Amino acid sequence: MNLQEKKERLQEILRSYGKVAIAYSSGVDSTFLLKVAHNTLGDNAIAITVKSHLVPAAEMDEAEAFCKRENIRHQFIIHDEMSVPGFAENPPNRCYICKRQIFSAVIETARKMFGAGLSSENENSAKSYAELKNQSVNFVVCEGSNKDDEGDYRPGMKAIAELSVKSPLREACLTKAEIRELSRELNLPTASKPSFACLASRIPYGQIITRLKLQLVETAEKFLQDLGFVQYRVRCREASPATSLTASIELLPEQFNLFKTNQELIIQTLKNLGFAEVRLDEKGYRTGSLNEALGIKHPVP
């Protein structure tokens, strides 16, 4: 299929769902999906955004502004990831643990927004979209994974499958590059937006996740963005002693010179934030670099 045929296929998929609730993060993929869904289904397409310590506040502001501008019905839900059993211990399946909880909440919120009634005694009984379908719920929850995501280690996809959440971009075989191209055609502000992943992905598996670490990463990455870096990750690693933290910075190789120009400022600023050591990862930016410790290597889409 060519690009326009893929877009038409996406619209066909969305029309077949009738009503959709998009798990909306304000990223490249979910913004494109939400825009096409709203163009295709009108008020039968709604957006649900999860607020947590895993997502910078600026992303939430962008989500709210986009939905207001597009006149899309939008709901925030609060997620306290630290209260999820097993999350803070940061096992290799951390993403599964987290997404199972998040998407269960998204499904419940969508049910309320669409007015799909369950009796009061069963108000909290539905644990999955499949169970909700048995209660004659007439909507589909969608998330923004694309075709490229099939080639990476993503344990969260197991939770999505278990909850019968749909991934229409993957079903339409749309890649990240194609989504960016179609986003430009739609004049979306995210067409050239850097890729983002939840802040927990900056902490190596097996090292405890804390709100302090997440805040350090968020602040450090915002600083790099303000300096003009386009795509970046600040990996937060425990050093010796364990209370000492190292910032391992991943940047696009073509921006290494920008780092060298600002090296002293970057190192001093991140140390002032609380990192004991700051270093540049000479391998450069790549998605899922922490998966390398598991023996899993994937190219950057």
Question: Which residues 6+ apart lie within 8 Å of 110 measured at CB?
Answer: 21, 46, 48, 139, 141
- What 3-state class would DSSP assign to 198? coil
Task: Going residue by residue through the chain, which has 301 residues, state the pLDDT in tens, using 9 for 90 and above.
Answer: 899 999 999 999 999 999 999 999 999 999 999 999 999 999 999 999 999 999 999 999 999 999 999 999 999 999 999 999 999 999 999 999 999 999 999 999 999 999 864 444 444 444 555 554 444 458 999 999 999 888 666 788 899 999 999 999 999 999 999 999 999 999 999 999 998 889 999 999 999 999 999 999 999 999 999 999 999 999 999 987 667 999 999 999 999 999 999 999 999 999 999 999 999 999 999 876 566 655 555 443 3
Task: Judge contact between 76 and 192, C-beta under 8 A.
Answer: no
Q: What structural domains and CATH numbers belong to the chain?
A: 3-185 (3.40.50.620), 199-294 (3.30.300)
State pTM to two decimals.
0.87
Sign of the Cα pseudo-torsion (89, 92, 98, 100, in order): negative
Give the HSE-up count for residue 11: Cα atoms under 13 Å, Cβ half-sphere. 13
**C-beta neighbour count of 161 within 10 angstroms:** 10
Looking at the DSSP assignment, which residues form a beta bridge with residue 238? 245
**Closest Cα to residue 88, out of 229, 200, 241, 217?**
200
Task: Judge contact between 198 and 99, C-beta under 8 A.
Answer: no
**What strands lie across the sheet with 277-280, from one edge to the other?**
232-238, 245-251, 277-280
Give the Cα separation of 228 and 207 in Å (integer): 30
